[in-house]
A and B are shown apart, each in its own frame.
Chain A
Amino acid sequence: MNAAPTNNAVATGDAPRTLAEKVWNAHLVKQGEDGTPDLIYIDLHLVHEVTSPQAFDGLRMAGRPVRRPDLTIATEDHNTPTLDIDKPIADLTSRTQIETLRRNAAEFGIRLHSLGDKEQGIVHVVGPQLGLTQPGITVVCGDSHTSTHGAFGAMAFGIGTSEVEHVLATQTLPLKPFKTMAINVEGTLRPGVTAKDIILAVIAKIGTGGGQGYVLEYRGSAIRALSMDGRMTICNMSIEAGARAGMVAPDATTYAYLEGRDHAPSGADWDDAVAYWETLATDEGAQFDAEVSIDADTLEPFVTWGTNPGQGVSLSETVPDPASIDDQHERAAAERALEYMALEPGTPLKEIAVDAVFMGSCTNSRIEDLRAFASIIKGKQKAEGVRVMVVPGSARVRLEAEAEGLDKVFTDFGAEWRFAGCSMCLGMNPDQLAPGERCASTSNRNFEGRQGKGGRTHLVSPLVAAATAIRGTLSSPWDLQTEGEGN
């Protein structure tokens, strides 16, 4: 097959286009007219137990089949326990959702990776690790963090249950084009500063609504220097800025990650695929609807102090004083947040003691995240009284980590080493904070009650989580070095 077949004809002589526009145009089944939406083809549909039951029920009621089971894959993640996974799930609602997914997958012929299967895991970790998430494709899932897959240069976004049914039945979605925003991150990150700090800084800068209606394209030397795992962390949290999706143009790093994975193209197909992927990058001179810049050189480890992901500052700073915030809505939100978080303005963030550290979630549970965490804690002991949970994003990540001996590093440190799932990212399974408990978490949402009723969440990178687990107060690897030098 030719490298530039019909669907992806690269317009020559046309106006320069962005990555997002190219992927969109390559998936137009039908162009909308007079305000009607475009009909967009979906290459990959990821399914999990929480948002799919009514969609399958709708198909059943209408007597419709799944159009493309071969473009659909399901896994169990949100409700699954991370201990005793061979026992029946205790919570009845959770068990019903899981059993319903199993029945639906069997009835409609959908590939399912169940608890205990080596490909089971968080849906956004499973797609990339199987090589299913590829540049230039469209990916949807009934889950807002579908934006993760944009790290490969895919157009990936979360959808509602009606849309899940729509994609199951038609493999398409009626959609209006998104606007585009360039996020330029130039410079070099200092050691100890990571992808998570970049995205937390981006959200703090543009706000939790700043990306609404946009696809964010992350660009610049600092992004190019990131691994795929780092790019996934960034794209994952695009939704926390309100964006529909986040993307990074594919490059040699992307191809190196994909090559040899189970479902990546091989042989001549690989060459054709790469030739096409090479055409996807935003053209010189293409116009974005908005642009934002972040200086990577000056970035520090970042942490949230409030109850939305935009309420974050550098870890070296203090808890902000709401009185200094001009916007009255933001000021009121900050006041409420500090009350919920039980924090006093002016407190140095590094003096805040935590009860728990959660290392996991679709933001930071891939092998590199676990390696980063392990590199800091290796040979050390966790702070007394702090509960530390390490939860791999997928069963395969768990196996990989164990093959490298990371599990031993974690358990020697005093951490709990668990089975794959969403775990303490959201209070839907047994892993939850108790009311009033404070947690440094590598997840993506610090909403009130997200990790358990009354729980208090500080979003951090794996490196900050590790340093915090050692010192018992919010800390970065920089603080450990200082100690090591005898200060």
Chain B
Amino acid sequence: MEKVTTVTGTAAPLRRSNVDTDQIIPAVFLKRVTKTGFDDALFYAWRQDPDFVLNRPEHQGVKVLIAGPDFGTGSSREHAVWALRDFGFDVVISSRFGDIFRGNSGKQGLLAAQVAYEDVERLWEVVEADPGIEVTVDLVERTVTVGSLKVPFEIDDYTRWRLLEGLDDIGLTLRDEAAIAEFESHRESWRPKTLPIREPAESGSL
């Protein structure tokens, strides 16, 4: 996972609340076998509307999503985060997030910045007035800056630290690589191994 300290880019205002993970990515896309290539699936139903915010020319190449309260509720599907990442989002701003979604975001390097609802409204206004304006999300200071507006955001210390260090769960565990190797060095010879394949004495055929 790449380290995140500040993200600077344009933003899309999503004036909706209770955006559940079924809206973020419908279940039909869960049949896929990759972790990437979900950008077309993001907000699939809404994107059928040419006027949907992400379809508008002024919001192409956005990195920051500014959404209403209770973003990412519902089904635990990790695909919701994959789809947002694939589309190009580095940050989602909301006044409240679904718990599992927030957890999944941290694992995939998506910054879920919790901003007071009044501030979300102010951010919406600024971005709507000037869609091309750059938004800067500073993880070190925990602030969102756009033009002359600067608002604070909340993120738990542990997730923040992991994002700053660029550590996903696996990266974090691999910091204990020495302990894992040490554990393995004591592993008894009789513990099961799948390789090399041992053949039974006699074998039949189907």
Contact = CB atoms under 8 A, between A and B. Distances in A.
**Does A pair with B?**
yes
Interface of A: 1, 5-8, 29-30, 39, 41, 43-44, 53-54, 57-58, 61-62, 64, 67, 69-73, 93, 96-97, 100, 111, 116, 118, 131-134, 137, 160-162, 165-166, 169-172, 174, 262-265, 269-270, 272-273, 276, 395, 398-399, 403, 419
Contacts of A395: 206
A70 B173 contact: no
B188 A7 contact: yes
Contacts, number: 124
A256 to B, nearest CB: 17
Interface string B165-199: 00011100110100110011011111111110111
B35 A54 contact: yes
B179 A39 contact: yes
B204 A169 contact: no
B170 A111 contact: no
B205 interface: yes
A67 to B, nearest CB: 8
Range of interface residues on B (Cβ < 8 Å): 35 or more
A162 B191 contact: no
A399 B194 contact: no
B129 interface: no
Contact of A111 (B104, B192, B194): B194
B192 A29 contact: no
A434 B43 CA distance: 33
A160 B107 CA distance: 13
Of B1, B189, B193, chain A has the most CB atoms within 10 Å of the CB of: B193
A403 B204 contact: yes
B106 to A, nearest CB: 11
Of B33, B174, B198, chain A has the most CB atoms within 10 Å of the CB of: B33
A57 B174 contact: no
Nearest to B33: A53
B41 to A, nearest CB: 14
Contacts of A8: 188
B194 A263 contact: yes
A117 to B, nearest CB: 8
B50 interface: no
Binding site secondary structure of chain B: loop
A44 B192 contact: yes
B195 A170 contact: no
B188 A5 contact: yes
B57 interface: no
Contacts of B183: 7, 29, 41
Nearest to B199: A262
Contact of A39 (B176, B191, B193): B176
Given A54-B78, A174-B173, 9 more contacts: A1-B188, A6-B186, A8-B188, A71-B193, A73-B194, A160-B78, A162-B104, A170-B170, A263-B193
B48 interface: no
A57 B205 contact: no
Contacts of A62: 1, 168, 170
Contacts of B190: 1, 265, 269-270, 272-273
Contact of A54 (B34, B187, B198): B34
Contact of B191 (A43, A64, A160, A166): A43
Contact of B180 (A96, A172, A403): A172
A53 B34 CA distance: 6
Contacts of A71: 192-194
A162 B107 contact: yes
B75 interface: no
